[in-house]
Every structure is written in C-alpha cells, then in structure tokens.
Amino acid sequence: MSVRLISTSALACVLALALLGPLRGDVFRAEEQPLDLAAAGTNPVTPGNFTGYGFDQCLTPTQATMDAWLEHSPFHSVGIYISGNSRACRNQPNLTPTWVSTQLAKGWRLLPITLGPQASCSSRYPKYDDDPKINPDATNYYAKAKAQGKLEAERAVNAATALGLTPGSTLFYDLEAFDIGNTKCRESAIRFVHAWTIRLHELNFVSGYYSSAGSGIKMLDDVLKTRPTAFVLPDQVWVARWDGKANTTISSSYLSPSAWAPGRRVKQFQGGHDETWGGVKINIDRNYLDLGNSTPKAEKHCSGVRVDLSRYLAIKPATATVVPNPDRVKALQCLLRERGLYPTDAPINGKYGPRTLTAAQAWQTKRGFTASTTWSVRDWITILSAGAKPVLKIGSRGGYVRRAQRAIQAAHPALEIKVTGIYDTAMAADVLAYRKKIGVHAYGVLNTATWTSLQAGKY
C-alpha cells in the first residue's frame, strides 16, 4: 500500500495511545468460537463482524510474530496479500492454509488483499513485466477493463480458496492512487471495480476495495452521488487516510458521511512505521475497522439466576445474627452447578447449607486450596475465570468477555464493571487497572498471563 508522511504530532499521539493500551472501539468475537474451529476443521468467514484495530504488512508475518503480537499488541486483525501481480511481496513463504487456519482459530481476523492491475494513469505501475495496467480502451464500454476485473476476481477467489478462506469472506482489491481527473483512466478503473464486485458476488465472496481517500475513494463516492444505479459498487471500502485518527471518519470532500456507513468501512490511519510488541519488531500500517454490527448473544444461567454481581464478597455459614446474602449464594450455587459440583436435584435457594458447602469445598480442593467453610474472594475469582484462556482485547465480544468482566470485578471491586460482553476502552482500562493492582506490566490486553493470574485467584 502507498507510503505517505504523517505529521509528527499525529504519530506521537497514536504511539502514545498504543503504549497506554488498545485504542477506542469494540470488536466482535464469536461466542466461545475460536477454540472449537480448529477441532472442527472449518474456518470462519473473515473478517466478518468486526470493529477494532488491525495492521497490515507486505510480508505475511511468521507464526512466532503473530503469537507475540496476539499476546501483547492492541491488534486483532491483519491484512495479508494473497494475490495480484503488482504486489511487492509476491513470495509469501509464511502464507499457507495452516497459517490461515491457525490465526483464525486464535481469534485473528484476516483482511485478504489483491494488488493486481493498476489504473492506466498511475505513475508507479507497472512494477514488473507481467503486471499490466487497467486497459483504458473505451471500446464497448470499456469491455477490456471489465474483463480484467472479472479475471482478477477469479484469481483472488482461487488464491483465497487454496488458503482455506471460506465463501462469505471479504476480498479487498488494492487500487493505488491515480489521477481521477483523467477520464479514460477513471472510467476504466470504475468498470474494473464494477466487474470485480460482480464476479466476487457470483462466487459467493464479499467485495472489498482499498484506495486513497483523494483518488480511488473519491471516485467511488462521486459515482454513488451522480450515477448510483450505473455500477455495482464494492460492499466494503478500506480508505487510506493517514490522519492519525483511529476511527472511520473521512472528510466529506472525499466520502459522504452516509456512504458505506455504518459498518462497512475500514480506515488505514497510519502508514508504514516500526512497532515492537512482545519483543518482536515489524514494519506495519495501522488500521481501524468498523465492519458489521454484531451484538453479543444474551446469556442465561440456571434458568435465570443472576451471576453478575456488583460485589463478590466472602460467604460464611449463617450465625444467630448474620445470614449470608441469598442473591450471592444463589450465584454461587449456579456457578458450582455449571462446574458440575452442585447436584441438579439440589435447590438454588440462596441458603448456604451443607450441600452448597460441600460443593464449594470440592471446588476449593480442585483448585489446590485448603477446604474451608468460608467462600472467599479468591474463590470467586477462580470460579468466575475458570475455563479456556483466549486472548481478549478491544475487538473481543461474547461469553469470554463476560467471564473476564465478572472475574476482574471480583478481584477489583472498586472498578464497578458492567458485564456487557463487549471489550471496549472501559474494559481495556479495567484490565490495565487489574494488572497494575497485581504488580505486573499494566496495559489493556487480557492475555494468557492475565488469565493465569485470575485463575490463580490473584488480587
């Protein structure tokens, strides 16, 4: 993708935000999805419903890099060049079906990119002997340009299918900057993209399109305004606008506020620069995605028992003067039942009686703790956080996030977390606060190490 300069102040702002933790946004992650996909051997649609942060790099990163960046970076999506004779990194030794399925299983969202024929008036292309430009011949309504667009779509789908990318996924065509004032250059480019989109739809893929705000994006916006029914336009747009702002807002002089909104935009808001996460440095572009509009599925526990509490305080056996809070005991009974320790024939009645105590002590013993008549804050943290440990960050939604929100609320009551299932900036701040409280490097990614601390009951 093209290289431009970003102002020093904007760059400083972006990097400062990165060091503080993930940037603003919510990103969809299917409910408990990644752990089951690898076993089933089925890759999900990508990027699907996704709002959050991503990066792209010319060369597909190694698995070691992806793992380090998953655990430590704010990113949860990655752009990969899968086809196109004009791409700089034609040789992609790391990009294999195994690489694709592994990233998807770990929760990454992939943005497959094709960089093929470029606009006929582009000053930077062709790069090689076998990467022709889009043919500007106007004969038969630019039939040659349309044929090129159709062919490039077919090649992209073949490449995507070979990598295990499934129908319903978005394939992005990268059309670098060009002079939209050149009529034949512009009109042939429009028809190329039109044919690309039609053919992708016929092959059951979603049409994506990347270009600079001032050229290729403005071209589409002008078409949308003046010839809205003349062409089939891409489903999603990826706008190169290096303003350092992590959002999908684009000046109305380039893109109308309602165009491809909401939920159909990506913005590349920072160009090529080095970043280091988990001790691994690579050169990347930064992106903010707003694709789809997915709400986490509602949860129901034990036929409606409320397990989202404002305070997860210790529970002790009743005395002559003190009776345990029944709502708190009901939540405990439900959680113990879901862990297979509180029998299905035992009532969820809010009474901390012998059967509840036996189940609670079984959990304590299972976790390696000394069995006690007191259900402690530590015990709450461990049962609320128990289970798989997927990395969560801005971009995550669903059951895993709810589990983390409850566990951190138990560990850090002052945070007053609302259990939404959405990992937003507030959740990132809560994770940062928890990590700071337990004395580890404070940033807003709930990685494997953070889960381990929660499951050990640290607070």
* Residue 228: CATH number of its domain: 3.20.20.80
Residue 367 near residue 416 (C-beta atoms within 8 A): no
pLDDT for residue 295:
80
Q: Note the pLDDT of residue 303.
A: 95
Q: Can you give the pLDDT at residue 221?
A: 98
Residue 109 lies in a domain: yes
Three-state secondary structure of the chain: CCCCCCCHHHHHHHHHHHHHCCCCCCCCCCCCCHHHHHHHCCCCCCCCCEEEEEEECCCCCCHHHHHHHHHHCCCCEEEEEEECCCCCCCCCCCCCHHHHHHHHHCCCEEEEEECCCCCCCCCCCCCCCCCCCCCCCCHHHHHHHHHHHHHHHHHHHHHHHHCCCCCCCEEEEECCCCCCCCHHHHHHHHHHHHHHHHHHHHCCCEEEEEEEHHHHHHHHHHHHHHCCCCCCCCCEEEEECCCCCCCCCCCCCCCCCCCCCCCEEEEEEEEEEEEEECCEEEEEEEEEEEECCCCCCCCCCCCCCCCCCCCCCCECCCCCCCCCCHHHHHHHHHHHHHCCCCCCCCCCCCCCCHHHHHHHHHHHHHCCCCCCCCECHHHHHHHHHCCCCCCECCCCECHHHHHHHHHHHHHCHHHCCCCCCECCHHHHHHHHHHHHHCCCCCCCCECHHHHHHHHCCCC
Question: Would residue 2 count as lying in a domain?
Answer: no
Residues 117 and 68 in one domain: yes
- Is 264 a domain residue? yes
Say how far apart CA 226 and CA 450 lie, in whole Å: 53
- Tens-digit pLDDT string for the chain (459 aa): 643 333 333 333 333 333 333 332 222 223 333 333 333 458 999 999 988 999 999 999 999 999 999 999 999 999 999 999 999 999 999 999 999 999 999 999 999 999 999 999 999 999 999 999 999 999 999 999 999 999 999 999 999 999 999 999 999 999 999 999 999 999 999 999 999 999 999 999 999 999 999 999 999 999 999 999 999 999 999 999 999 999 999 999 999 999 999 999 999 999 999 999 999 999 999 999 999 987 888 999 999 999 999 999 999 999 999 999 999 999 999 999 999 999 999 999 999 999 999 999 999 999 999 999 999 999 999 999 999 999 999 989 999 999 999 999 999 999 999 999 999 999 999 999 999 999 999 899 999 999 999 999 999
Residue pair 230/259 in contact (Cβ under 8 Å)? The answer is no
All residues at 6 or more sequence positions from 90 whose CB lies less than 8 Å from its CB, including other chains: none
Residues 170 and 146 in one domain: yes
Q: How far is CA 158 from CA 18, 62, 166, 444, in A?
A: 36, 23, 11, 38
Query: Is 285 found in the same domain as 322?
Result: no
> Distance from CA of residue 180 to its chain's centroid?
33
Residues 209 and 216: beta-carbon distance below 8 Å: yes
Q: Residue 395's pLDDT is what?
A: 84
For the chain, how many structural domains are there in total? Answer: 2
299 and 274 belong to one structural domain: no
**pLDDT score recorded for residue 41:** 53
Domain match, 163 and 97 both:
yes
Peptide bond into 126 cis (omega under 30): yes
In a domain, 275, yes or no: yes
273 and 388 together in one domain: no
Domain of residue 373, residue span:
295-459
Q: Of the candidates 245, 261, 291, which is a domain's last residue?
A: 291
> Residues 425, 448: one domain?
yes
Cis preceding-peptide flag for 262 (omega within 30 of 0):
yes
Q: Which of 242, 275, 291 is the last residue of a domain?
A: 291
Whether residue 68 contacts residue 272, with contact meaning beta carbons closer than 8 Å, is answered with no
Regarding whether 118 and 29 lie in a shared domain, the answer is: yes
Which of 269, 291, 313 is the endpoint of a domain? Answer: 291
Whether 379 and 275 map to the same domain: the answer is: no
Q: With b meaning 16 or more CB within 10 Å and e meaning fewer, what string describes 281-295?
A: ebebbbbbbbbeebe
Whole-angstrom distance, CA of residue 394 vs CA of residue 445: 8
Token look-up 């159909």 returns 264
Q: For residue 3, is it within any domain? A: no
What is residue 293's predicted lDDT score, i.e. its pLDDT?
80
